[in-house]
Amino acid sequence: MGLEYKDFDFDNGTVFIQRTSNYRNSSTGIYTSTPKTKSSCRVLAVPEFIIDLVKELQEEQKEQSIKCGDLWVDSDRLFITWNGTPMHPNTPYTWLKRFCKEENLPFKGLHSFRHTFATQAITSGTDVATVSSILGHSQTSTTLNLYTHAVQAANVKAINVMADLLNSEAG
Mean pLDDT of 56-77: 96
Note the pLDDT of residue 28: 87
Of 87 and 171, more confident? 87
Q: What is the dihedral of CA 9, 12, 14, 18, to 10 degrees?
A: -40
Q: What is the pLDDT of residue 170?
A: 65
pLDDT per position as a tens digit, 100-156: 999 999 998 888 888 888 888 888 888 889 999 999 988 888 888 887 776 677 667
For position 44, what pLDDT does the model report? 93
The confidence score (pLDDT) of residue 138 equals 86
**Region 72-81 average pLDDT:** 95
pLDDT at position 120 is: 86
Task: Please check the confidence at residue 164 and state whether its pLDDT lies above 80.
Answer: no
Burial of 65 from C-beta contacts in 10 A (0-12 / 13-18 / 19+)? middle
Vertex 45: Cα angle to 23 and 78 (nearest 5): 35
Is the per-residue pLDDT at 99 higher than 90?
yes
Residue 87 has pLDDT above 70, yes or no: yes
Per-residue pLDDT tens for 8-59?
A: 999 999 999 999 999 998 888 899 999 888 888 999 999 999 999 999 999 9
The residues, ordered by sequence, that sit 6+ positions from 5 with a Cβ below 8 Å of its Cβ are 54, 58, 76, 78
How many Cα atoms sit within 13 Å of 152 on the Cβ side? 5
Count CB atoms within 10 A of the CB of residue 143: 23
Give the integer Cα–Cα distance in Å for 21 and 4: 11
Q: How many CB atoms lie within 10 A of CB 167?
A: 10
